[in-house]
């Protein structure tokens, strides 16, 4: 399996060829509709948001510190990856620069509906920052079985993904079922012998390119250079069934009563969004 790259595809073609069958794709120029395209650089963030902070592994860092770290990062001494800023909470000013967030393709997305408040169910918009040699700490599927959209706005990032159906080869953590125990970049075949049979797909996305990663596909990432990207999630009728299962599994850890209330709310919200899709409601 290879990842298709496209510079000319309609929304209808995306639905038929990628969303419905669950096939990833790289859009080569979808981000041209964003003012952020070509604007976001380490220097730009230092100049405009030097003192904004985020917490990484329990420690607070400023934007200036993070950008200095990732530009000094190397394969031999990599800066930890990823460094994440919640856009709505920490960098609301850049919101208008990444509109329309859906790029004209990530539709329908129920996180755009008032029924699913963005962020509460995992649908946050995040700024990811990394440096050369930085590896995502584990192979994973996105939380709540959401589909992921990652737009690379600065630098190059390598992705490794696995076609669906290979879960038995990936040593899924039974306690955190969205994580794999395998270190994809340095696998221990004595500990994880079946991983030899897995068939990874490796590809690179660069500035201005957008990756659609369907729900349920295991993947991880590696920064080849200093990188800045925007990521958000998509929920709709395609992944709603798996989403609901995760809502129950995750929320019941907070107690049966609370899980029941949240599950019932998500059930009603989903039905309302389905009706909206049926009648062509614009969000």
In 3D, which of 237, 232, 234 has the Cα closest to residue 277?
237
Q: Does 201 or 81 have the greater pLDDT score? A: 201
CB within 8 Å of 68: residues ≥ 6 apart: none
List Cβ neighbours of 277 (8 Å cut-off, separation of 6 or more): 108, 236, 237
The region that residue 146 occupies, defined by phi over 0 for left and psi between -120 and 50 for alpha, beta otherwise, is beta
Separation of alpha carbons 192 and 183, rounded Å = 10
DSSP the chain: ---EEES---HHHHIIIIITTT--EEESSGGGGSTTTTT--HHHHHHHHTT-EEEETTEEEEHHHHHHHHHH--SSSPPPS-EEEEHHHH-GGGGGGG-STTTTTS-S-GGGSTTS-TTTTS---EEEEE-TT-B-SS-B--GGG-EEEEEEEES-EEEEEE-TT-GGGS-B-SSSTTBBS--TTS--TTT-GGGGG---EEEEE-TT-EEEE-TT-EEEEEESSSEEEEEEEE-STTTHHHHHHHHHHHHGGG-HHHHHHHHHHHHHHHHHHHHHHHTT---
What pLDDT, in 10s, does the model give residues 147-202? 999 999 999 999 999 999 999 999 999 989 899 999 999 999 999 999 999 999 99
Mean per-residue pLDDT over the chain, rounded: 93
Q: Residue 119: which pLDDT band, with cuts at 50, 70 and 90? A: low
What's the pLDDT at 251?
81
pLDDT at 31: 97
Per-residue model confidence as pLDDT tens digits over 88-116: 999 999 999 999 999 999 999 999 998 98
Do the strands 25-27 and 227-234 form a parallel or antiparallel pair, or are they unpaired? unpaired
Fold of 4-236: Jelly Rolls (2.60.120)
- In the chain, where are the structural domains located? 4-236
Percent of the chain residues topping a pLDDT of 90: 81
Mean local confidence (pLDDT), 43-68: 94
Half-sphere exposure of 194 (CA within 13 A, CB side): 9
Neighbours of 73 (CB within 10 A): 22
């Amino acid at each position: 399996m290879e990842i298709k790259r496209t510079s000319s595809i309609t929304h209808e073609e995306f639905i038929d060829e990628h969303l419905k069958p669950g096939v990833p794709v790289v859009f080569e120029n979808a981000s041209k509709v964003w003012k952020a395209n070509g604007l976001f650089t380490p220097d730009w963030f230092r100049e405009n948001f030097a003192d904004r902070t985020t917490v990484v592994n329990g420690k607070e860092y400023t934007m200036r510190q993070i950008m200095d770290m990732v530009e000094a990062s190397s394969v031999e001494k990599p800066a930890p990856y990823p460094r994440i800023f919640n856009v709505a909470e920490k960098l609301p000013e850049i919101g208008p620069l990444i509109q329309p967030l859906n790029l004209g393709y990530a539709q329908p997305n129920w996180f755009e509906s008032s029924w699913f408040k963005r962020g509460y169910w995992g649908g946050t918009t995040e700024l990811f920052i990394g440096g050369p040699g930085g590896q995502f700490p584990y192979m994973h599927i996105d939380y709540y079985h959401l589909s992921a959209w990652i737009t690379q706005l600065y630098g190059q990032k390598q992705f490794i993904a696995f076609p669906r159906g290979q879960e038995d080869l990936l040593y899924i953590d039974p306690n955190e079922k969205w994580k794999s125990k395998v270190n994809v970049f340095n696998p221990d075949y004595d500990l994880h012998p079946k991983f030899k049979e897995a068939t990874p797909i490796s590809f690179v996305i660069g500035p201005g390119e957008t990756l659609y990663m369907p729900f349920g596909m295991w993947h991880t990432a590696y920064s080849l250079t200093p990188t800045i990207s925007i990521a958000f999630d998509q929920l709709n009728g395609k992944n709603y069934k798996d989403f609901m299962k995760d809502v129950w599994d995750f929320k019941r850890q907070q107690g049966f009563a609370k899980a029941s209330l949240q599950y019932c709310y998500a059930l009603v919200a989903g039905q309302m969004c389905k009706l909206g899709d049926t009648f062509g409601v614009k969000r």
